[in-house]
């Protein structure tokens, strides 16, 4: 196996598992629907809350989609093959992750203009929301992967992953929603975006290696 053939097989697998992407988006939509119905449908509430609602929904949807990242490979034994193949594990994990990110975030970004109108977010702010998602979501994927790698051998690991990983998501959510509310107040939001990028880069430096260690620990 080479990196290229691995990339090809992973792309094919994502293509065949279109349902996972659809599920993540549907989940996102449901969470967004909860807020107007559960709290208040008026624009007075939704407009300032829109950034927070989108980010809460996005972090839950991302974590749930990352949680199953290794499950299928673990069950059918291809994860074991991957470890034995001699490919550098952190890089293969990163490849998997980039593909998963494209499969979930790209359609999400395409639908964000629609969702943001449901939450009465002004058009002039939508691009800020997209920037925060572009810069912040890699961190969520990368940190979530460690949790997925640790719990891959557990039958019911989803709740555990939520419990151990969500606290680490809080800084990302805080700075992302901070950027959006700064933009809504007409202030400069580049600082918050820079911090989001920095958190993503830090996660990029640490997460693949830690995930690889976690997977190896789970395998024996």
Query: Which member of 38, 77, 167, 186 binds other proteins (CB under 8 A)?
Result: 167
Helix, coil or strand: residue 150? helix
Query: Which member of 13, 78, 153, 204 binds other proteins (CB under 8 A)?
Result: 153
Fill in the per-residue mask, 62 to 81: x = in contact with other proteins (CB under 8 A), - = not in contact.
--------------------
Part of the chain binding other proteins (CB under 8 A), chosen from 65-73, 83-91, 110-118, 166-174: 166-174
Report the distance separating Cα 35 and Cα 52, nearest Å. Answer: 11
Q: Smallest distance, Å, CB 218 to other proteins?
A: 6
Part of the chain binding other proteins (CB under 8 A), chosen from 16-24, 89-97, 121-129, 153-161: 153-161
Q: Smallest distance, Å, CB 214 to other proteins?
A: 6
Q: Smallest distance, Å, CB 7 to other proteins?
A: 27
Q: Smallest distance, Å, CB 187 to other proteins?
A: 11
The nearer residue to other proteins, 121 or 182, going by C-beta atoms, is 182
């Amino acid at each position: 196996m080479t990196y290229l053939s691995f990339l090809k097989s992973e792309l094919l697998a994502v293509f065949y598992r279109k349902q996972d992407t659809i599920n993540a988006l549907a989940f996102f939509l449901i969470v967004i629907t909860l807020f107007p119905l559960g709290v208040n449908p008026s624009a007075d509430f939704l407009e300032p809350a829109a950034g927070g609602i989108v980010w809460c929904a996005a972090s839950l949807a991302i974590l749930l989609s990352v949680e199953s990242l290794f499950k299928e490979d673990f069950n059918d034994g291809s994860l074991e093959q991957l470890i034995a193949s001699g490919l550098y594990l952190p890089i293969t994990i990163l490849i998997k992750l980039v593909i998963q990110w494209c499969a979930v975030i790209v359609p999400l970004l395409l639908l964000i203009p629609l969702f943001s109108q449901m939450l009465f977010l002004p058009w002039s702010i939508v691009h800020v929301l997209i920037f925060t998602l572009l810069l912040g979501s890699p961190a969520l994927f990368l940190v979530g992967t460690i949790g997925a790698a640790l719990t891959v051998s557990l039958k019911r690991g989803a709740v555990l992953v939520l419990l151990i990983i969500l606290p680490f998501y809080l800084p990302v959510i805080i700075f992302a929603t901070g950027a959006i509310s700064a933009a809504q107040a007409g202030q400069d939001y580049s600082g918050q975006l820079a911090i989001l990028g920095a958190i993503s880069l830090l996660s990029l430096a640490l997460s693949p290696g830690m995930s690889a260690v976690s997977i190896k620990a789970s395998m024996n």
